[in-house]
Amino acid sequence: MKAARFSRFGGPEVLEIVELPDPHPGPGQVRIAVRAAGLNPSDWKKREGLMDEQLPQTLGYEAAGVVDELGEGVADVAVGDRVFGFCAQEGAQAELAVLAHYAPVPPSLDFAGAAALPAAIETSLRALDQLGVESDSTLLINGASGSVGSAAVQFAVVRGARVIGTASPANHDYLRSLGAEPVAYGEGMAERVRALAPDGVDLALDVAGSGVLPELVDLAGGPEHVITVADFAGAQRYGVTFSRGDAGRAVHVLGEIGELIESGRFSLPVAQTFPLSEIAEAHRAGESGQVRGKLVLLV
């Protein structure tokens, strides 16, 4: 099978499409013929050598496609079914992928729309659960217009929370459409939040990793009320929890998101799609920071 890979660290030019052996599912897993695979900021961080040291690396851990091989004991899907989910190991940006956690593609979504979901919905819901966001919460989300941020906005709104979200002014109408109260990020952000919530907020979620943890801690009344999914160094420095999957993943959301999507209470826009062969261009688009919504590779 063809797969995206890099054998040295560097810019997008180190990415290659190579031939690799076909993978096969283990017990409880399924193999899919990949139709679409999501791109995430961790992809370019790994490519630059900022996360994992091993070489070579194959990329991607979320995909959507058609089941073409069943692992032992799998009875909830059949060959030919449309599913989406998380890879057993990395390598979703390929012609074939083995999924360890999966669910049926929601009827109203195409493969690109389904491949955009897993990382964003799992990361955001896990963080909201760890924060304890409830119907009486006022939640501040720093970086609310990206894929993880906008997913967090919508999940919090479904729970009945009041949501204040930081974003560039160009994305404020989008945040309002999701049910959030937008504020501009940058200098003076804390004062703009206090104009909406004079006593501060109950909880804060940092999705952007833009160096504002001290302000979030102050607005939320202490580091125990703040979680970041993007600023590991800042979390250590300011005593904030860094949410990561090894603390328990919210993979149950894969089976729950379809109802929210079909009822019109959740959507995650696909910003742009690229053929697998143009993965370097996809990385350049993602690293530009100008994308609202998700980047997806089509296989």
**pLDDT of residue 123 exceeding 90:** yes
User: Which pLDDT value is given to residue 53?
Assistant: 86
**pLDDT of residue 41 exceeding 90:** no
Q: Roughly how many angstroms between the first and final C-alpha of the chain, as a whole number?
A: 11
- pTM (two decimals): 0.93
- At residue 162's C-alpha, the angle toward residues 199 and 170, to 5°, is 100
User: Which pLDDT value is given to residue 246?
Assistant: 64
- At residue 287's C-alpha, the angle toward residues 165 and 127, to 5°, is 40
φ, ψ at 212 (rounded to 5°): -105, 15
CATH 3.90.180.10 positions along the chain are 2-117+268-298
What does the pLDDT average to over 148-161?
A: 97
Kindly report the number of other CB atoms within 10 A of residue 141's CB atom.
31
What does the pLDDT average to over 206-225?
A: 96
User: Which pLDDT value is given to residue 181?
Assistant: 98
Mean pLDDT of the chain: 95
User: Which pLDDT value is given to residue 61?
Assistant: 94
Q: Determine the angle formed by the axes of helices 253-262 and 118-131, rounding to 10 degrees.
A: 100
Confidence of residue 235 (pLDDT cuts 50, 70, 90): very high
Instruction: Give me 104's structure tokens.
Output: 């049926």
User: Which pLDDT value is given to residue 88?
Assistant: 84
CATH 3.40.50.720 positions along the chain are 121-246
Confidence of residue 247 (pLDDT cuts 50, 70, 90): low
**pLDDT of residue 178 exceeding 80:** yes
Q: Cβ distance 37 to 58 under 8 Å?
A: no
Place of tokens 């940006």: 93
- Fold of domain 121-246: Rossmann fold (3.40.50)
- Fold of domain 2-117+268-298: Quinone Oxidoreductase; Chain A, domain 1 (3.90.180)
